[in-house]
Amino acid sequence: MSSIDVPNPLPSPKEDAQELRKAFEGWGTNEKSAIKILGRRTAVQRAEIRRTYAELYKESLLDRLHLELSGDFRKAMILWTMDPAERDAKLVHEALKKKGEKAIWVVIEVSCASTPDHLIAVRRIYRSLFFSSLEEDIASSSMYKEPLRRFLARLVSSYRYTDEYVMRELAKFEASVLHNAIKKNDLHDEDVLRIITTRNKSQLKATFLHYKQLTGKSIDEDIESHSSSQFANMMIRAIWCLAFPEKHFAEVIRYSIEGLGTDEDTLTRAIVCRAEIDMKMIKEEYKSAFKTTVTRDVIGDTSGDYKEILLTLVGSEEP
């Protein structure tokens, strides 16, 4: 589901590091060369390039990118070149300083659209970078009110079972539990929080399927019909990121480019963070939901080298 077009044959990390060095030397930076190299390498390959570059030239590749590039292009290139867990730790840390639902999305994405092992890695790096735990910072944040604060803290603390084994009878029972709570507009009920914050993703998908069979509505549609509160909206986002992440990220991309002006930070985050995970599915969802393509909208709302790195990460797409 990754959209990254890795070349074959693949140059060695040393060759890539040397080509990057050439791109930085002389009068001006060869941005196209940097995009061609870094934009077409996996996280493991980028890590090897960073390590080799530091060994050869006694400087950080990320520091050099910061020096050579500028604006939204620089931000996208640095975020892409970083270790994914470190990137998410820094994105969450920045989000915790901001108000509004867009900032809460970042916490939910990292908590719910990641693998359990990736979330553990994010939490570990967060502690080493910021000298506090992610769970602690959310639980003590003045940006969130209860029950949202408790919900987010439980999401980031979770370690979900990763196998695809599903207990069908439990799924039916918990679909009924969720339905009863939603009818009562009691989304912060302990059973609801327990189900959403602890069940593995395969189990949740089965529960949400039984929910639709039971009620005739998808769970997110039913929540929306009963409440328009911020907590309800964030519960829906968590459900999407857990069971249908392509739906969430398609909407995030669309949100970032709709209306007057472009929200470059949000657009960059969505594309950079999902390019190696499920960008192909996001592109399909985007086309189905909005009757256009990610490629077409990126071309229409961005320009220059920033546009080129985003298009490289989005990958090939039918017009």
C-alpha to C-alpha distances, 189 to 7, 140, 223, nearest whole angstrom: 51, 21, 14
DSSP summary character for residue 146: T
Q: What angle do CA 20, 26, 31 make, to 5 degrees?
A: 45
The domains of the chain are located at 13-69, 84-157, 168-243, 246-314
pLDDT band with cut points at 50, 70 and 90 for residue 270: very high
pTM for the whole structure: 0.95
Token pair belonging to 160:
């979900």
pLDDT band with cut points at 50, 70 and 90 for residue 162: confident
Residue 239 marked ligand-binding: no
pLDDT of residue 2: 84
Q: Domain 246-314 carries which CATH code?
A: 1.10.220.10
Residue with tokens 């529960």: 207
CATH superfamily of 13-69: Annexin (1.10.220.10)
Average pLDDT over residues 163-176: 94
Average pLDDT over residues 144-162: 93
Residue 28 marked ligand-binding: yes
Q: Domain 84-157 carries which CATH code?
A: 1.10.220.10
75-79, 158-162, 170-174: segment of lowest average pLDDT:
158-162
2-6, 201-205, 274-278: segment of lowest average pLDDT:
2-6
Average pLDDT over residues 258-280: 94
pLDDT band with cut points at 50, 70 and 90 for residue 214: very high
Residue 277 marked ligand-binding: no
In this structure, what are the phi and psi dihedrals at residue 242, rounded to the nearest 5 degrees?
Answer: -75, -45
Q: Does the pLDDT at position 319 exceed 70? A: no
pLDDT of residue 216: 95
pLDDT band with cut points at 50, 70 and 90 for residue 1: confident
Pure H helices in 140-293: 148-157, 168-183, 190-198, 201-215, 219-226, 230-243, 245-257, 264-274, 279-290
Residue 68 marked ligand-binding: yes
Give 5-17 pLDDT, tens digit per residue. 999 999 999 999 9
Q: Which H or E element spans position 82?
A: none
14-18, 259-263, 297-301, 305-309: segment of lowest average pLDDT:
259-263
Q: Domain 168-243 carries which CATH code?
A: 1.10.220.10
Residue 26 marked ligand-binding: yes
Intrachain domains 84-157 and 246-314 with the same fold = yes
Residue 257 marked ligand-binding: yes
